[in-house]
Amino acid sequence: MSKEGIRLIIIQNGQLVSPSGLTRADLALDGGRIVAIEPHIEPGEGDTVHDAAGCYVFPGFIDGHTHLDMESGSLVTADDFTTGTRAAVCGGTTTIVDFATQDKGGTLNDALDAWHKKADGKCSCNYAFHMAITDWNDQVKAELPEMFRRGVTSFKAYMAYDALKVNDAELLEILQSLKPFGGILGVHCENGLLVNELQARQKELGHFGPDAHPVSRPAEVEAEAVNRLCYLGKLADTPVHVVHLSTELGLEEVRAARKKGVKVYAETCPQYLTMDESRYKAPGFEGAKYVMSPPLRTPADVQALRKAVAAGEIDTIATDHCSYNFKGQKDLGIEDFTRIPNGGPGIEHRPMVVYTSMVQPGELAVTDFCRLLAENPAKLFGMYPRKGVLAVGSDADVTVWDPEAKTVITAARQQQNVDYTPYEGFAVTGMPKAVFVGGVLAAEYGQPTGLVAGTYVKR
Ligand code: URP
Ligand code: ZN
Ligand code: ZN
């Protein structure tokens, strides 16, 4: 028990992970915070002990790219904040950053109010919001200080999707306007005009199936947009963040810009590290399960991105979780691939998929895994050292990881509220034994405890 008489949670015998190394130590949580890290912590009366022998102990993982309860036309994503965050904690994620999205003609404040209404009181893990700016004007610019006061330090802009995209001049002005606040802009890098043209060409050729999706969004469409964003960042003299990077060609643009002194952060996602475009050739309409933007790429792109992850060229791995049911949602595009709602699920499986496919075979150090899933997103999105590190005084968000535990990913047993998973049949080695959110045990071995402990992260 602590000096104040608070009952502690003591995590004993684990290997604490940070990007700089492993330490054998015990952790004491007093509920909200980590209060002690010692070689051995003797439990007092009433304290709860969790044995982490044989386990890694990570700062809770952060997923910096999710779309929960998101409307797109007449559709709404299959996962809302209740189901999505429950799935997240079951996989070891203790904080998500979701995209509040401005309506065309609407205000940022209204969008933020709407996202709080969707999320507050429902989240099993902690949550913060990026603000997606879809309609830039002077009134919106005047709202920026209020966004920072309300805890939003990161923003998003789209270079594609007619309903969401901003033009280059607007992008430049958004970057310049965020600069005095130190805000960071994540950008969906695809040339939207080219996508529209290439989609129309596929349809003229009579190609209406899911396999036309990657053809309409080739690597050049991403790389050109990454290049343009980097130059806009250079002009504005401010960092830029490329979200869901999927191609070697795009990666080469990131490298080139960095060589020129542009500060470019790059995010990729498990789907671009583990699956390739052959999935679009699946029989029948199965390929629709992988219709997301950017699309899955060639095996060479997958290898290039994996090498970049291992080499430290990629800053974060997030999911871009945006789930639509195969039946009743994806199948709206059965006659026309451009009507298939874009996005796929992954919020539950990201740590297991990356650990199994990269850490377990020795391609990625466990310390780098910690950097990519915890420390870097915390730093990039203004949450460090409150989150992203195991330190006295940091939030008690902790993921105890059993590196030997085995399971098989299947939609039949997943927590995600969607009728498929792109990782169906994926054999996992390494999964979370126990997940603490603000000192509350939220999940054990992939099952939720039912405690809804997530709080809003005002950054
Ligand atoms: O296909 C995707 N990724 N849908 C979600 C929205 C986005 O582009 O990030
Ligand atoms: Zn995007
Ligand atoms: Zn997204």
pLDDT digit string (tens) for 250-297? 999 999 999 999 999 999 999 999 999 999 999 999 999 999 999 999
Name which residue sits closest to atom 8 of ligand 1, judged by CA.
293
> How confident is the model over 225-244, as pLDDT tens digits?
999 999 999 999 999 999 99
Task: Give the ligand with the smallest distance to the CA of 296.
Answer: 1
Q: What separation in Å is there between the alpha carbon of 243 and the centre of ligand 2?
A: 7
Neighbours of 304 (CB within 10 A): 19
For 75, the token pair is 């559709």
Ligand nearest to the CA of 99: 3
- The percentage of the chain sitting over the pLDDT mark of 90, rounded to a whole number, equals 98
Return d(Cα 436, Cα 236) in angstroms, integer: 40
Write the DSSP assignment of 204-228 as a string of letters. HTT--STTHHHHHS-HHHHHHHHHH
Task: Pick the atom of ligand 1 nearest to 291's CA.
Answer: 1
- Position 31 scores a pLDDT of 77
For residue 431, what are the β-bridge partners?
A: 402
Ligand 1: residues with CB < 6 A are 67, 188, 292-293, 320, 322, 342-343
**Alpha carbon distance 51, 74 (integer Å):** 48
On whether the CB atoms of residues 277 and 297 are closer than 8 A, the answer is: yes
> How far apart are alpha carbons 190 and 160 in whole angstroms?
6
Q: What is the pLDDT of residues 64-91, one digit of tens each?
A: 999 999 999 899 999 999 999 999 999 9
Distances (CA, A) of 9 to 25, 43, 168, 228, 343: 14, 9, 51, 50, 38
Tokens representing 127 are: 């949550």
Beta bridge partners of 37: 27
Question: Where does 73-215 show beta strands of DSSP type E?
Answer: 75-76, 93-101, 126-132, 154-158, 184-188
* The pLDDT of residue 417 is above 70: yes
Atom of ligand 1 nearest to the CA of 67: 5
Ligand 1, atom 6: nearest CA belongs to which residue?
Answer: 343
Q: Is the pLDDT of residue 4 over 80?
A: no
Secondary-structure percent of the chain, ordered helix, strand, coil, rounded to 5: 35, 25, 40
> Does the pLDDT value for residue 321 go beyond 90?
yes
CA of 322 to the centre of ligand 1 (A): 7
**Residue 273 alpha carbon to ligand 2 centre in Å:** 17
Comparing 4 with 368, which gets the higher pLDDT? 368
Q: How far is the CA of 190 from the centre of ligand 1 (A)?
A: 11
Q: Which residue, judged by its Cα, is nearest atom 4 of ligand 1?
A: 343
Q: Is the dihedral of CA 334, 338, 339, 341 positive or negative?
A: positive
Residue 110 has pLDDT above 90, yes or no: yes
Quick check: 382 pLDDT over 70?
yes
Give pLDDT, residue 271.
Answer: 99
Q: How far is the CA of 246 from the centre of ligand 2 (A)?
A: 11
Q: How far is the CA of 66 from the centre of ligand 3 (A)?
A: 6
Q: If you average pLDDT over every residue of the chain, what do you get? A: 97
The protein residue whose alpha carbon is closest to atom 2 in ligand 1 is 343
Q: Got the DSSP string for 181-202?
A: GT-EEEEE---HHHHHHHHHHH
pLDDT 10s digits, 23-57: 999 999 997 999 999 999 999 999 999 999 999 99
Helices (H), 217-298: 219-236, 248-259, 270-274
The pLDDT score that the predictor gives to residue 305 is: 99
Convert the pLDDT of each residue in 294-312 to its tens digit: 999 999 999 999 999 999 9
Q: Which residues surround ligand 3, an ion (CB under 5 A)?
A: 320
* pLDDT tops 80 at residue 211: yes
Q: Which of 65, 67, 216, 324 to mutate to test the pocket of ligand 1 (most atoms within 8 A of CB)?
A: 67
Residue nearest to atom 5 of ligand 1 (CA): 343
Per-residue pLDDT at 287: 98
Identify which ligand lies nearest to the alpha carbon of 70. 1
> What residues are paired with 33 via a beta bridge?
395
- pLDDT of 1 higher than 70: no
Structure tokens at 287: 């390929």
Q: pLDDT at residue 2 above 70?
A: no
Q: 186 alpha carbon to ligand 2 midpoint, in Å?
A: 9
How many angstroms separate the Cα of 375 from the Cα of each of 17, 63, 156, 184, 365?
Answer: 11, 11, 21, 17, 14
**The predicted structure's pLDDT at residue 91:** 98
Ligand nearest 75 Cα, by number?
1
pLDDT of 6 strictly over 80: no
Which of 320, 321, 338 for mutating ligand 1's site (highest number of atoms within 8 Å of CB)?
320
Distance (Å) from CA 49 to ligand 1 centroid? 41
